[in-house]
Chains A and B, each alone.
Chain A
Amino acid sequence: MNRVIVLSALALGLAILGMATLNGAVIALAIAPAIFVGAALLDAPGELRLRAERVLSAERAGAGAPVTVRVTVSNDSAQEVQALIEDHVPGMLKLVEGQPALLVRLAPGATATLEYTIQGSRGFHHFNRLHVTATDRLGIVQLRTSVAAPGKLLIVPEVMRLARLGIRPRRTRVYSGTIPARQGGPGVEFFGVRDYQPGDPVRWINERASARFPGSLYVNEFEQERVADIGIILDARRSSDVQGDGQTLFEYGVQAAAAFADALIGQGNRVGLLIYGNAIEWTFPGYGKMQREKLLRALARARTGDRAALASLGDVPTRLFPARSQIVLVSPLQPGDAPAIIGMRAHGYDVLIVSPDPVAFEMAHLGAMASLATRIARVERNSLLRRLRHAGARVVDWQVDVSLAQVCHAALADRR
């Protein structure tokens, strides 16, 4: 409760009681709280002119990495200020060291620094204003205000390093890269034999074939290696997400999408990202480090959603991806997803499914009490995966307690 009101009520109550009972000694008692209030009001903080500057040790950090926040508050007013300065730490961030509040007495022109360390999960975190409570020297009169101290912190998802991924989309781009293009030409891997043409390097001549047909020269042809168009689809439908013990399967999906984006861009491919669920969040395809950063920022913002219009994978706008390109679908998969994925295959897309296993994830949190339900769910999932494999989709069934790199190495090792 407001201290001025408490003391004023006490002083007035005593004064009225003294007057009502015609007792001067009781009126004299009222003087003490009245003097406390008077002294506080005389010393009350006037107009506050504070300035704050926020500096973060990093504006972009990985998940779980500690970030130090330093806020310097300057007193631009002509009077001394005694104040409690409190910073608001965004909800997804966790305080690991220091305190976001500082009680300080600031002389005119003096500065004070508030410093603390935070860490948190992926996302864009915005710092806004400082909450300042200035008081008189006795702390009886309080004046509350806020000071602008904006700041932004981007925490990108953890990126797991994957070995070279063996993917073979039906169509590649014209630039040379690392993905086999199903076309003869310069390369590393043997592709076929053809007639010698002027200009062919002598070391390409296939001596055995040429010796079998005197008068003709044959040269070896190699499989061209080019870059490809790759679209990553991250399933952000809330109905696909499984939660337990403060963990969500969606976070593993985000990690997998980040790992694939990093590995595929690292191989020189043109990669786009579609986050499907809360809305259709589309990151236009591109190459290089800038595109990697764009994809990581998009993944940092990814949230699950529950839109009726986006409830089925059948509504994924596949036309965003070039025809016959590679699609990497990161999804725990739902029973009704098979027709949509088979449809993608029918449209000529090469589909790679990275599926964090929801059955194993949930079972780890439920334990033995759901063993029958687990068996049924396992049978259903195996049946779904088998159906997708028969349709020509490649499936990486990822039990999230195993490293993704290890699973991908076994399932997607370069097949050349």
Chain B
Amino acid sequence: MRLVIGLIVLTAAILALGLFIAGHALVALAPVALGGAWIAGTLYRRRDVGALALPGLAAIAVIAVFASVSPLIALAGLVATLAAWNLHDMEQRISLAGAVAGEAVLRRVHRMRLLIVAALSLGIGSLATTLRFDTGAIGALLIALPAILGLSRVTAALRRAMQRRANNEPAAFQEKIRQ
């Protein structure tokens, strides 16, 4: 749990510091407030706080980019947010499971994987912030097309997931078990 809180503090600190240095002292309070709410939610075992904090801090990272904060700082803030969200999720799964076999190994494997993925994200993302190429309208359209298609697929999947939840998935699962 200390690691989760540490990562949330790091996330809020990176984004707040970036915004503060860029001269947006008032906006810099937003990641601090969100980070504080997330930490409080973590300590009081509120499951929904993590789900709200992730888009909130991601939005602040985007705002930071538009507010002339270095893209590297915004990227570092976003990667730290994702890492904190994933670690918080893992902590919740462990605490909800009741019993955990080989907890130390499970945690070690997860942290190792998270470290690799976060480092990769930071590395490739940093590279992407320095690379620049010009494209025309057709090129932009060709790049945007898969993104739009992907977004439509994600939206459809999201709608299906919400529909399943509305149809009371646990009851359907119980029925399946009975059969």
Contact = CB atoms under 8 A, between A and B. Distances in A.
B partners with A: yes
Interface of A: 1-3, 5-10, 12-17, 19, 21, 23-29, 31-33, 35-36, 39, 43, 82, 84, 88, 98-105, 112, 114, 128-129, 131, 137-140, 146
A336 B38 CA distance: 66
B62 A26 contact: yes
Given A23-B66, A31-B124, A128-B178, A137 B97 contact: no
B39 interface: no
A106 B178 CA distance: 27
Nearest to A7: B82
A292 B174 CA distance: 35
Contact of A103 (B78, B99, B132, B173): B99
B170 to A, nearest CB: 10
Interface in B89-145: 89-90, 93-94, 96-102, 105-106, 109-110, 113-114, 116-117, 120-122, 124-125, 128-129, 132, 140, 143-144
Q: How large is the interface on B (under 10, 10 to 19, 20 to 34, 35 or more residues)?
A: 35 or more
Contacts of A3: 89
Nearest to B69: A25
Nearest to B109: A137
The 9 tightest CB contacts between A and B, nearest first, are A99-B98, A103-B97, A25-B71, A28-B128, A32-B121, A104-B101, A137-B113, A12-B151, A35-B121
B9 interface: no
Contacts of A128: 177-178
Interface of B: 51, 54-55, 58, 61-62, 65-66, 71, 74-75, 78-79, 82, 86, 89-90, 93-94, 96-102, 105-106, 109-110, 113-114, 116-117, 120-122, 124-125, 128-129, 132, 140, 143-144, 147-148, 150-151, 154-155, 157-158, 161, 173-174, 176-178
Most chain B C-beta atoms within 10 Å of own C-beta, residue among A19, A26, A137: A137
B94 A16 contact: no
A1 B148 CA distance: 21
A103 B92 CA distance: 12
Contact of A104 (B66, B100, B143, B151): B100
Given A26-B65, A27-B128, A12 B150 contact: yes
Given A104-B101, A105-B109, A140-B86, A16 B157 contact: no
In terms of DSSP, what is the predominant structure of the interface of chain B?
A: helix
Contact of B144 (A5, A19, A29, A43): A19
A137 B105 CA distance: 11
A294 B58 CA distance: 66
A39 B120 contact: yes
A82 B93 CA distance: 12
Given A10-B55, A19-B140, A25 B106 contact: no
22 contacts: A2-B158, A14-B62, A15-B147, A24-B129, A25-B74, A26-B62, A26-B65, A27-B128, A28-B129, A29-B74, A29-B125, A32-B78, A32-B82, A39-B113, A39-B116, A82-B106, A84-B93, A105-B109, A131-B177, A138-B114, A139-B93, A139-B110
